[in-house]
Amino acid sequence: MRMRNYLKEKLAEKPYVLGAFVASCNPTNVEILGMNGLDFVILDMEHSPLGLETMVDMIRAAEAYDMVAIPRVYTIETKLMRRVLDVGAHGLLVPMVNNMDDARYIMDAVKFPPLGARGMNAGRGPRWGGYDHYIQEANDALFTMFQCETREGLSHVEEMAAMDGLDSIFIGTGDLSLDMGHPQDLKNPEVVAAVDRILRACQEHGKIPGIVTGSPEAAAERIRQGFRIVTIMNDLGMFKAQSQRQIEQVHALCP
| 147 SS3 class | strand
Q: How many residues can be counted in the chain?
A: 255
- Residue pair 70/145 in contact by the 8 Å Cβ criterion: yes
The residues annotated as belonging to the active site are 47
Cβ count near 255 (within 10 Å): 4
d(CA 5, CA 34): 17
Give the H/E segment covering residue 55: helix 52-63
CA separation for the pair 231, 41 (Å, rounded): 8
Whole-angstrom distance, CA of residue 249 vs CA of residue 255: 10
Q: How far apart are CA 125 and CA 69, in angstroms?
A: 13
Give the amino acid at 214: G
| Through-space distance between the first and last CA atoms of the chain, rounded to whole angstroms | 62
> 176-190 burial string, b = 16+ CB within 10 Å, else e?
bbbbbebeeeeeeee
